[in-house]
Structure 1
Amino acid sequence: MRTQENRAAETARIISDSRSLYTRTDGEPFFFSSGWASPVFIDCKKLISSPDDRALLVEMAVEAITAHIDPDSLDAIAGCELTGVPFAALIADRLHKPLVLVCKQRKGFGRLAQFEGSFEAGAKVLLIDDLATDGASESVFMSALRKAEAEILGTFVLVDFNVFTGEHRMLSLATLEDIMDRAESDGYFGRREADEVRKFIRDAPTWSRKHGGISAI
């Protein structure tokens, strides 16, 4: 089994090679739905279209998850609408676990109105998404699971920005800093771009405030 350091390095390589990392260090930055401003974004949606990369990411995800959570303790895998669904489905298949999809909004009535699929009250669930920036989206999906009387054993993402204060801690394959380390070594950025993203990683709230975003939630 790979170490966490090995998994982070492989994930960073995949993201760098697939050109899934984008920056806006001049002009208007990226704005996340919660109001944070960022000079960088990772488009994990691209990764499902490469069979080799996808297979390796799922293999490493299963390693990371089972290193922290006993699969026998899990009753279901929950995928976040929309981008978390492909990887949640693949991981659920590898672990041979039921799959449910957590929707952004309720559709219909009853305890499971915000879900596709079903699970019993008290079910032990692992929530899966592709990318966590500020953790706001994952918090919404976690709230839906709790309202549906699920017990959340953890949250897993491929990449966790891991730069915002108060962000819910998650299992992940890599952090934004891991991705940046690889991207810089690959010559993905110019020096000025890289320096600006490093400023964001060191102090995201201050960077966000200076560029028109919020500085706290």
Structure 2
Amino acid sequence: MALTPRDLAACLLDAGAVRLQPQDPFTWASGLKSPIYCDNRQLLGFPEARGQIVAALAARAMTLGPTLITGAATAGVPWAAMVADRLGLPMAYVRPTPKNHGMGRQVEGPLAKGHRAVLIEDLISTGMSSLKCADALKAEGAEVSAVLALFSYGLPQAEQAFASARIPFEVLGSFQVLSEEAEHRGLLDAAGLAALKAWRTDTVAWSRAHGGA
């Protein structure tokens, strides 16, 4: 049975990968305040959910005709490795920046030149880190057919960034479905849902209103 967005929402909440704190926001590395925090590495500890997610990623990746599966370091690497193994394809991973010693590579693994690559991410926020990885693959001579992610916050700036870069991206989960599942479980009330909607509409304004960057 195919993994649905509601299935993934349940997996994320069951694993504690998604935390919702509208009244006590998280602080991202960028300094932005956010009512939601997602750490999909928690899913690695749940074999059944992990297997369902890998199967869904592999099924979607296969339709794109890749010759190389790549993962965005660090959180996308284990998912890329499992998908590559399932599809019997070579795998590489992409650092945020080139290594400052040794061979100085940014793309680690087999040379990407001439490959049709699918880049796997665990999470998409603004999309900028994913696109930097895609640029590194293209600089090495690969064609990036798409970015596949487990989950996205659904921010407008991510859609704009991918559209500008002309790189398709697909996500297994849905922010809206996750919000509905959280409400169904009693993890969010009406005020909490309104906070998530306001944050997603304008992350910067929401952050500043809550003491963030």
TM-score by length of 1: 0.83
Correspondence for 1:181: 180
Shifted more, 113-122 versus 147-156: the winner is 113-122
**Post-superposition offset of 1:93:** 0.8
Q: 1:126-165 maps to which residues of 2 (within 5 A)?
A: 126-165=118-157
Report the CA distance between 1:63 and its aligned residue.
2.5
Q: In 2, Cα distance between the equivalents of 1:159 and 1:113?
A: 28
- Could you say which residue in structure 2 is the equivalent of 1:17? 14
Structure 1 gaps of 5+ residues are none
Q: How does 1:94-109 map to 2 (within 5 A)?
A: 94-107=86-99, 108=101
* Aligned residues of 2:71 and 2:121 also touching (Cα < 8 A): yes
Summarize the Cα distance change of 1:181–1:167 in structure 2 as closer, same or farther, 3 Å threshold: farther
- Decide which of 81, 85, 92 is 1:89's aligned counterpart: 81
CA contact (8 A) 2:124 2:130 kept: yes
| Counterpart residue number, 1:8 | 5
Identity %: 25
Pair 1:109–1:19, CA change in 2 (3 A): closer
Query: In the alignment, what sits opposite 1:40?
Result: 36
For 1:37 and 1:44, locate their aligned partners in 2 and report how far apart those are by CA, in whole Å: 19
Which residue of 2 is the match for residue 195 of structure 1? Answer: 194
Displacement after TM superposition at 1:100 (Å): 0.4
Q: What do you get for the CA RMSD once the two structures are aligned?
A: 2.3
Partner amino acid for 1:104? Answer: P
CA shift for structure 1 position 109? 6.6
**CA 1:16/1:93 → structure 2, altered by over 3 Å: closer, same or farther?**
same
Secondary structure of 1:174's counterpart equals coil
Shift of 1:209: 4.5
SS at match of 1:106: coil
Change (3 A) 1:16 1:28: closer
Q: Which amino acid aligns with 1:193?
A: G
Question: Does the CA-based 8 Å contact 1:24-1:30 persist in structure 2?
Answer: no
Alpha carbons of structure 1 residues 194 and 116: separation in structure 2 relative to 1, 3 Å:
same
Matches of 1:27 and 1:162, distance apart in 2: 21
Letter in 1 for 2:82: L
How many correspondences in the alignment?
205
Are the equivalent residues in 1 in contact too, given 2:68–2:112 (CA < 8 A)?
no
Query: Cα 1:164–1:208, aligned 2, differ >3 Å: closer, same or farther?
Result: farther
1:124/1:150 contact within 8 Å kept: yes
Deviation string, structure 1 residues 96-124 (Cα, Å, up to 9, x no partner): 110001112312476x7112211242221
* Comparing 172-181 and 101-110, the one that deviates more: 101-110
Question: What's the CA shift for 1:92?
Answer: 0.6
Give the alignment's TM-score, normalised by structure 2.
0.85
Moved more, 189-198 or 139-148: 189-198
| Aligned mates of 2:96, 2:201 — CA distance in 1 | 31
Q: Deviations over 1:137-164 (max 9, x none)?
A: 1122112112212110110110011213
> Secondary structure of the residue that 2:96 maps to in structure 1?
coil
Q: Secondary structure at the match of 1:128?
A: strand
Looking at structure 2, the residues matched to 109 and 118 of structure 1 have their Cα atoms a distance apart, in angstroms, of 16
Query: SS in structure 1 opposite 2:117?
Result: strand
How far apart, in 2, do the equivalents of 1:129 and 1:207 lie?
26
Say which SS state the counterpart of residue 134 (structure 1) adopts. Answer: coil
Letter in 2 for 1:52: E
